[in-house]
């Protein structure tokens, strides 16, 4: 497995969060391989959820495969409980489905579903960004340059999970200027779903990430300049290529 900020870094189980006892010495349960990551005792569920989300984006959780809570828990070095809780959250987000007495199956995406997500995101975000471009002062846009830089740095490193997180953070920061928390929450969910890869799709290249990050920079410049036609064009093209 490649090394990355969000990559899962160890194949061996580590002590659980409940006890400081040694992990079982037997082999991990059979099934699709998922890399393991040591997680701290505090906010275990949140850390497991973040790790699973990163694995989804990175294609390490394979669409159509079934994963059990105990097997994932052993690989993460935690009990099955926080894994199940995290997987239930992913089920609510539409990433997996719960299979009673079996585990969780990663749902399979289709090109059509991604196209539909791009269309819905455009219907929601384009009008908002055009309205913001007319009213938000330059100083507020300038404050978003660190968010743009974060996407560029993650892209340059070829770190897909980190880039996905930085990408959402930039869009979240832009939409937050509208002052509508419900809008931000809905757009965030749609954006997250759009980042899950298609089954069998080739791995996203670093050059693709760099090009995508450059669109953030161009969009910010267009927002600062209040160039509405360019803002609309960039956002629609950005969604179409997501």
Q: pLDDT tens digit string along 82-116? A: 999 999 999 998 999 999 889 999 999 899 998 99
Q: Which residues of 116-129 are buried (b: 16+ CB within 10 A; e: fewer)?
A: ebbebbbeebbebb
Question: Residue 160 phi/psi, 5° resolution?
Answer: -65, -50
The pLDDT, as a whole number, for residue 34 is 56
The pLDDT, as a whole number, for residue 31 is 53
Distance from the Cα of residue 7 to its chain's centroid: 13
The pLDDT, as a whole number, for residue 123 is 93
The pLDDT, as a whole number, for residue 234 is 93
Q: Which whole number is the average pLDDT over 197-203?
A: 82
Task: Please report, to the nearest 10 degrees, the dihedral formed by the alpha carbons of residues 188, 191, 197, 203 taken in order.
Answer: -100
Q: Is the pLDDT higher at 187 or at 38?
A: 187
Q: Which whole number is the average pLDDT over 203-218?
A: 93
Residue 22 pLDDT more than 80?
A: no
Comparing CA positions, the residue from 48, 115, 56 lying closest to residue 84 is 48
CB 212, CB 74: distance < 8 Å: no
Distance from the Cα of residue 178 to its chain's centroid: 23
Percent of the chain with pLDDT over 70: 82
Alpha-carbon distance values, 207 to 59, 154, 157 (Å) = 18, 12, 10
């Amino acid at each position: 497995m490649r090394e990355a900020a969000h990559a899962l870094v160890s194949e061996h189980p580590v002590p659980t969060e409940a006890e400081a006892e040694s992990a079982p010495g037997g082999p991990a349960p059979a099934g699709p391989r998922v890399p393991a990551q040591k997680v701290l005792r505090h906010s275990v569920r949140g850390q497991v959820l973040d790790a699973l989300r990163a694995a989804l984006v990175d294609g390490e959780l394979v669409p159509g495969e079934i994963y059990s809570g105990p097997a994932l828990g052993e690989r993460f070095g935690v009990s099955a409980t926080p894994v199940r809780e995290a997987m239930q959250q992913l089920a609510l987000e539409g990433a997996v489905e719960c299979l009673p007495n079996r585990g969780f199956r990663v749902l399979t995406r289709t090109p059509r579903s991604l196209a539909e997500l791009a269309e819905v995101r455009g219907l929601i975000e384009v009008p908002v960004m055009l309205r913001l471009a007319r009213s938000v002062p330059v100083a507020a846009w300038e404050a978003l340059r660190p968010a743009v830089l974060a996407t560029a740095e993650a892209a340059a490193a070829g770190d897909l999970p980190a880039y996905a997180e930085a990408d959402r953070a930039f869009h979240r920061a832009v939409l937050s200027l509208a002052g509508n928390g419900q809008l931000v929450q809905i757009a965030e969910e749609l954006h997250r779903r759009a980042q899950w890869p298609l089954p069998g799709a080739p791995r996203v290249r670093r050059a693709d990430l760099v090009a995508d990050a450059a669109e953030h920079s161009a969009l910010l410049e267009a927002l600062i300049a209040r160039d509405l036609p360019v803002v609309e064009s960039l956002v629609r093209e950005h969604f179409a290529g997501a």
